[in-house]
Structure 1
Amino acid sequence: MDAGGWIAFGSGIVALLAAGFTFWQARTAADSARQASRQAQAAEDQVRIARDQLQQAERVHREQLALAERVHREQSEPYVVVDIGPAQSGSSLLVLSIHNTGPTMARDVRIQVTPALESTHASLTPRLTTAVSRTIPMLPPNRRLVYAFDTHQRWDTNLPMRYDFTVDAHGPQGPVEQLTYTVDLGVLAGYLVGERPMQRVEERLDSIGGHLNGLASAYEKANSEAIRAHRQR
């Protein structure tokens, strides 16, 4: 092989080596690109997870803050309760009560009732209507307004036994949540309504008297001889 042939052969070898090196570089570059792509995807996934965790933490924080604010507000708001029940244990008088059980002043208290209040005593009905139809300008904490409503005679009539009361009011921070109460007088049917206020005391005294009589009889039997001798003397 002459010099030209060796040169051509050498050139081919060099070209072949160059092509192999180029292929190796291309493959290495491709592997690096794939690795970089995977790293970039992993970084994006981490960023997305971190963003989701941050959003969730912010949402939980907002919910906790809103809950804390609501609890604080409810603890500082008036709480007006409307109810119907015996004036006292054993009383035959039923009363309508409007009671602010909250810690702050209730203002502009408005009450709606369905159906309209009605008593077996005709003179009480207009008073009850006025009591629930007018706006109460203010109701201090633990203030209780009481109105005569009816007696045990109600259970002998066809008058409504169930009432729904809706209460709206304002507290220190503005309007409070609307409250609704359902009062079922049928629940009181087996209660102490109509019983004499002192009936339980009387029954207890009668029971004590019976026990004392029994003790006296037992003592007399056990000491009959001594009692007879004492009487003879």
Structure 2
Amino acid sequence: MSTSTWIAAAAVVVAVAALFYARRSANAAREQTKIQRQLREDAAQPYVWADLRPSEEHGQFILLVIGNSGPTLATDVQVSITPELRTQEKERSGLIHKALADGLSALAPGRTITWNLGVPWEVITKGQPNIYRIRIRANGPFGAVPAMTYSVDLETLRYSLAVPPGTLNGIAVAIAKASKTLSEAVVGQAAD
């Protein structure tokens, strides 16, 4: 074989190797672009959640709270809870389940909707199921958000702290009470 043939053969081998690595690099770039696009879409989807929790303000009520912690509007929000929630008043349970069955047309970012289920000793009862299965479906700007299903056990709340932490409402009540006491003392001094 002549030198020029060897050089041509070597050039073909180098070209095939370069083509192989170029194709591999292009495939990796396409895959990376696909991952980046999916990350961008996932980050822009709403994050809808539901919780059964004690009231932070009063402590003596169990609440159903539905919220959107994502950056965009959630639409066609469907929340189903099984078994049917017990509430202090049977009528309230039917209204809550009807609202959930009808769904929420939209839930803005940072928005929560809260329903009062009643006092814990009426809602959390021994001998009854206190584990609720929550399923959430919603749509965002890039279509359907993956459905979430999880359980909430109200039994964990049975012996939890029932006294709310300090709130602005508590401060306002204390100020009003102090103001009234001060006013009565001033009026009493003026009368003397």
Compute the TM-score of the two structures, normalised by the length of structure 1: 0.59
RMSD between aligned residues: 3.1
3-state SS, counterpart of residue 53 of structure 1: helix
Which range moves more in the overlay, 154-163 or 133-142? 154-163
Give 2:40's aligned amino acid. H
Structure 1 counterpart of 2:95: 127
Q: Is the 8 A contact 1:89 1:197 kept in 2?
A: yes
Is 1:179 the counterpart of 2:178 in the alignment?
no
Structure 1 counterpart of 2:111: 143
Seq. identity, %: 26
> How far 1:39 moved relative to its partner?
7.4
Q: Deviations over 1:151-196 (max 9, x none)?
A: 321444222222222221122232222223322223334421xx34
Q: Is the 8 A contact 1:114 1:163 kept in 2?
A: yes
Structure 1 counterpart of 2:183: none
Is 1:169 the counterpart of 2:169 in the alignment?
no
3-state SS, counterpart of residue 191 of structure 1: coil
Equivalent residues, number: 166
Structure 2 counterpart of 1:107: 75
Give 1:182's aligned amino acid. S
More strand by share: 2
More helix by share: 1
Q: Is the 8 A contact 1:82 1:181 kept in 2?
A: no
Mapped partners of 1:164, 1:196: distance in 2: 27
Structure 1 counterpart of 2:22: 54
> How far 1:90 moved relative to its partner?
6.5
Structure 2 counterpart of 1:8: none
Structure 1 counterpart of 2:173: none
Structure 2 counterpart of 1:160: 129
Which structure's CA Rg is the greater one?
Answer: 1
Structure 1 gap ranges (5+): 1-31, 202-233
